Amino acid sequence: MRPSDGDGLFDLVKTLTELTGPVGHEDAVQEWLSRRWGAFAGEVRHTRVGNLLARIGGSGPRLLLFAHADEICLVVKSVTDDGFLHLWHYGRDATGYPPKWFSPVYQPALVVTSTGTVDGVFAKASGHVTGGRLRDKEKTEWNDWFVDVGARSRDEVESLGIFAGARVIWNPTTRRLGRNIVGKAMDDRAALAIVTAAAERLTGEESLAYELWVGSTVQEENGLIGASSLADEVAFDRAIAVDVGLTGDHPGPDPKDFPSKLGAGPTVVYQDASCHYSRRLSDELVDAARRAAVPVQRAVFQFYGSDGAALLRRGVETALLTYPTRYTHSPIETVDERDLLATVDLLYTFARSHSKVLA
């Protein structure tokens, strides 16, 4: 079945989200995409910092559709004498404490080493053994958390290939839940599924209005590191970053701040905390949604950034296209398959339409 059909796209999302690709160790994702894109692209390039770029075809202005391969993770910073792993954050920690939104404890853990993976659990000491000692503590500290891989000593842990620098992810399977798809790393592998499905559909398309490229970047979550050098690899004219979109359609957020909803179509983001996206290109995406007969939402994301800012800084006209996602940066990131299919349709229509501005 074609990946632009429902079941085909679900299979692609499930495969991509279940790959291990913590920040800075995205190899499994990039290798899988390299094989998949290699089956239909004219050229596939691995860049020196680990980004992946593929030229799909067509001629005209160079358009890049791209998403990031990395998923949020923790990193081993030390191993205790009796074999427990202490952890650090994947990026910058501004406060000295784990952020309130982040709750890995009691999840299964997967340690990603240079040679393979090791199962574990994210743990903290139970109330039965800490008694009143922690009762008055206001904040969780990083060292209250650890990973237990079932070892009894540092030597045993090291014999499994685990040293400081190994990444640790949560590792649920991706599944359908009612109308939704739930799992880890929808941020941003569902986007890579969308980009892949759109590129497959556009391959050999005679009415392509661009020289079309697709890309998968590394280290987005810790500061748009991979995306920062894309413009050195190929002189792109325009770029569309595809990423998770925020919603306010569940208990907690105020819909005045987050009016977007799951199932109401892709969301074009005009501004976030890192930049203002190209208004011209954003408007063209909204117009393409209308022509593709798919619903579309517009938004401003207050506490959010994307790889798009890195391309804008390098002189590439860039927009941000998102698919509504609940519970971002958790093991239960939740999307609606109809939004993903609509995003593929939108990109397919956009890439085939000559821009009045660039013509």
Residues near Zn ion, by CB under 5 A: 187-188, 243
Residue 220 beta carbon to Zn ion: minimum distance, rounded to whole angstroms: 6
What's the distance, CA 101 to chain centroid?
Answer: 17
In a 10 Å sphere around its CB, with 0-12 CB exposed, 13-18 middle and 19+ buried, how is residue 315 labelled?
exposed
Residue 244 beta carbon to Zn ion: minimum distance, rounded to whole angstroms: 5
In a 10 Å sphere around its CB, with 0-12 CB exposed, 13-18 middle and 19+ buried, how is residue 61 labelled?
middle
Closer to Zn ion by Cβ: residue 318 or 349: 318
Whole-number Å distance between alpha carbons of 214 and 223: 21
Whole-number Å distance between alpha carbons of 184 and 243: 14
Specify whether 158 is catalytic. no
Closer to Zn ion by Cβ: residue 243 or 284: 243
Residue 69 beta carbon to Zn ion: minimum distance, rounded to whole angstroms: 10
Residue with tokens 């059909």: 5
Alpha helices in 61-153, H assignment, sequence order: 127-130
Residue 332 beta carbon to Zn ion: minimum distance, rounded to whole angstroms: 16
Closer to Zn ion by Cβ: residue 246 or 346: 246
Closer to Zn ion by Cβ: residue 58 or 308: 308
Centre a 10 Å sphere on the Cβ of residue 268 and count the other Cβ atoms it contains. Answer: 25
Closer to Zn ion by Cβ: residue 188 or 339: 188
Identify whether the C-beta of residue 69 lies closer than 8 Å to the C-beta of residue 33: yes
With vertex at residue 9, the alpha carbon angle to CA 8 and CA 11, rounded to the nearest 5 degrees, is 65
- Using alpha carbons, select from 71, 66, 75 the residue that is nearest to residue 228: 66
The two structure tokens encoding residue 194:
């969308």
Residue 167 beta carbon to Zn ion: minimum distance, rounded to whole angstroms: 17
Catalytic residue among 26, 71, 211, 220: 220
Centre a 10 Å sphere on the Cβ of residue 146 and count the other Cβ atoms it contains. Answer: 22
Annotated catalytic residues are: 220
